[in-house]
Structure 1
Amino acid sequence: MLYPWQQKVWQGWQQLLAQGRMHHAVLLVAPHGSGREALARHLSKTVLCRNGAAAMGGEPCGICHGCKLFEAGTHPDFHLIAPAQEGKQIGVDAVRQCNRWAVETSQLGGERIILIDGADAMGEAAANALLKTLEEPPSGCQFILLASSLDNLLPTINSRCNKWRLAMPQEQETKRWVEKQLMQSIKLETVRLNGSAPIATQQFIEQGQDIRYAKLLASFAEFLRPPFFGLYDVAGLCTKEGHHSLKWLSYFLVDCMKWQQGVTSHLVHSESLPLVEQAAGVMTPMILLEQTRQANNLYQKLERHPGLNTELLIVDWLTGFMNHP
């Protein structure tokens, strides 16, 4: 199933397929929660369809042997690798397995698909192992790489791929789409916290993160008022939510800086303005700027090294608010 915001990219791919001009390595840059996996799988299913869907620039038939195997998750010519868990890298051994798949003969006599979900999570050795295969692509093998951004992708990999960006809907469109799925009204704040990614926003609410984050935000804003009571309460709530809580709190700190500068519209925390105003009134611009920078650095550190003591590091970060003059 494709989502409405994916149609433009999909139509571009359909044209290339019909013209026989699809690049052997497609790189789709899209955030988590955008449905990027569904789009990549739809392309894979189309290419593997035995009734020529790709050549006609159409949709997979759904009834041929290839489509049935794909739907059952047992297609022998479709291969997927991804990080074992969030924050982990894709190792060189997994990529070497990809390279072996790339040169194998198709078991059904058609194309072979290798989908790398989280290509920006490849370590340098893994990326270098993939590079040679992308430079000298085997016949009949289609690579599809998914990445959240190009920042952590080796430029050499980037340059060997045909890049596509999946644009997220406007925030009001995302809000309406999620409200339709959940049959309830949602806060614009929730959409903004999730970068307007519709599925991420939907899951944020379905999993109760919106309720937990509201509690965390209230505790954090209260902690920021001297004499800084509740440090360990805030740290505990952050730790339970995971390192993503640091990203959300950094948005809050940025909103506080904007508020101090007289910007009162288009804040992420659009429905929590009293908390923004409260924190902006007691924190100096210097503290907000430095602690935002530290929050972003800590988020990236925990993203790369999930085995670290999250609570201890968050306590250390929170202490930074108390240590400023």
Structure 2
Amino acid sequence: MLYPWQQTLWQNWQQLLGQGRLHHAILLLASTGSGREVLAQQLAQTVLCQNCDTEPCGVCHSCQLFAAKTHPDFHVVAPLQEGKQIGVDAVRQCNRWAVETSQLAGQRVIMIDHADALGEAAANALLKTLEEPPSGCQFILTAQSLDSLLPTINSRCNKWRLAVPDEQETRRWVERQMMQTVKLESVRLNSGAPLATQQFIEQDQDIRHGNLLDAFCDFLQPPFTGVYEVAALCTSEGIVSLKWLSYFLVDCIKLQQGVSSHLVHSESVDKVQAVAVKINPAVLLSQVRKANELHRKLEKHTGLNEELLVVEWLTGFIAD
């Protein structure tokens, strides 16, 4: 079942499917938490369906195999771990699937999830197959943005961008799903993505975010005590905590510059104001940059002592 914000894009695809004009390599650009995998799989199932051209019938042998996740002509390539690259061996296997005969005498679909995680060697191995696609083979690639996608892959695909709903629409949708009031702050912390916002609340991250913010604001009031408490909260939450604190500090910078509209922490303005009047603007700018650098470092290198590195970052508020 598709989500409401996916309907317009899906109708465009249905029109192309009905006309037999769907490009052999579709690139779906969509943020995390937008349900892009649901939309991509809807397209895959439709291409493989034996009864209908523009939507899966749900009853044919192909649709039943797809629903059971045992379809022999549907193949998925994805990173083995979050944050890792897709290796060249996986793409070589993908190229073999592309030239195989369909086991159900129909189409073949190859989905490359997180195509922006293709390494250079893997992307180069895929190029020829995308340039000269075997007959009856449909590629569906998904990515968060074009930023990390190699231009050579980008240029050989038909690109479609799934826009997230307006933040108020996201808020209303999540409130309907959860039957509770949702803070705009929760929506903005998740870049307006409905499913990410819902998960954020379901997993009580909104509560832990609030606890971290309280401890962080207390720490930022002289004489700057509680550094290890903040570091422990960051470590228990993982590297997303650095993103939360970075958003908060950017809100502080906005207030210092006289910008009070569209703060991420729209329901915590009192905390933003309390820090904005205490911390030097140059220190805030420097600490935001260092927080983002630390986030990238911890994302790329596992096994580092996260708590020690966070303590080191926090002492930047004291040293300056």
Normalising by structure 1, what TM-score?
A: 0.96
Asked if residue 29 in structure 1 is aligned to residue 6 in structure 2, the reply is no
Aligned to 1:175: 171
In structure 1, the gaps of 5 or more residues are none
Aligned to 1:129: 125
Q: Distance in 1 between matches of 2:146 and 2:226?
A: 39
User: Alignment partner of 2:109: what SS?
Assistant: strand
Output one character per residue of 1:73-103: Cα deviation in whole Å (capped at 9) or x when no partner. Answer: 0000001121222212211111111111111
Q: CA deviation at 1:311?
A: 2.2
Output one character per residue of 1:12-54: Cα deviation in whole Å (capped at 9) or x when no partner. Answer: 1111111111111111111110000000000001001010x22
1:93 to 65, 89, 93: 89
Indicate if the aligned counterparts of 1:78 and 1:114 stay in contact, CA closer than 8 A: yes
Q: Distance in 2 between matches of 1:305 and 1:143?
A: 31
Asked if residue 165 in structure 1 is aligned to residue 161 in structure 2, the reply is yes
User: Alignment partner of 1:26: what SS?
Assistant: strand
Aligned to 2:69: 73
Aligned to 2:194: 198
Aligned to 1:187: 183
Aligned to 1:41: 41
Output one character per residue of 1:227-278: Cα deviation in whole Å (capped at 9) or x when no partner. Answer: 2211111111111111111111111011000111122221000011111011
> What one-letter code is carried by the residue in structure 1 that aligns with 2:10?
W
Aligned to 2:275: 279
Q: Distance in 1 between matches of 2:24 and 2:114?
A: 18
Indicate if the aligned counterparts of 1:221 and 1:275 stay in contact, CA closer than 8 A: yes
Q: CA deviation at 1:222?
A: 1.2
Output one character per residue of 1:208-240: Cα deviation in whole Å (capped at 9) or x when no partner. Answer: 111111101111111112222111111111111
Q: Distance in 2 between matches of 1:232 and 1:99?
A: 51
Aligned to 2:218: 222
Q: Distance in 2 between matches of 1:126 and 1:313?
A: 33
Indicate if the aligned counterparts of 1:235 and 1:315 stay in contact, CA closer than 8 A: yes
Q: CA deviation at 1:6?
A: 0.5
Note the aligned Cα RMSD (angstroms).
1.1
Q: Distance in 1 between matches of 2:302 and 2:90?
A: 20
Aligned to 2:110: 114
Q: Distance in 2 between matches of 1:167 and 1:245?
A: 25
Q: CA deviation at 1:175?
A: 0.3
> What one-letter code is carried by the residue in structure 2 that aligns with 1:6?
Q
Total equivalences in the alignment: 320
Aligned to 1:139: 135
Q: CA deviation at 1:128?
A: 1.5
Aligned to 1:64: 60
Normalising by structure 2, what TM-score?
A: 0.97
Q: Distance in 2 between matches of 1:82 and 1:306?
A: 20
Q: CA deviation at 1:64?
A: 0.2
Asked if residue 251 in structure 1 is aligned to residue 217 in structure 2, the reply is no
User: Alignment partner of 1:249: what SS?
Assistant: helix
Aligned to 1:13: 13
> What one-letter code is carried by the residue in structure 2 that aligns with 1:263?
V
Q: CA deviation at 1:5?
A: 0.4
Q: Distance in 2 between matches of 1:165 and 1:47?
A: 20
Q: Distance in 1 between matches of 2:138 and 2:305?
A: 40
Shift in CA distance, 99/6, structure 1 to aligned 2, threshold 3 Å: same
Aligned to 2:229: 233
Q: Distance in 1 between matches of 2:85 and 2:307?
A: 23
> What one-letter code is carried by the residue in structure 1 that aligns with 2:243?
K
> What one-letter code is carried by the residue in structure 1 that aligns with 2:167?
E
Indicate if the aligned counterparts of 1:87 and 1:305 stay in contact, CA closer than 8 A: no
Q: CA deviation at 1:159?
A: 0.7
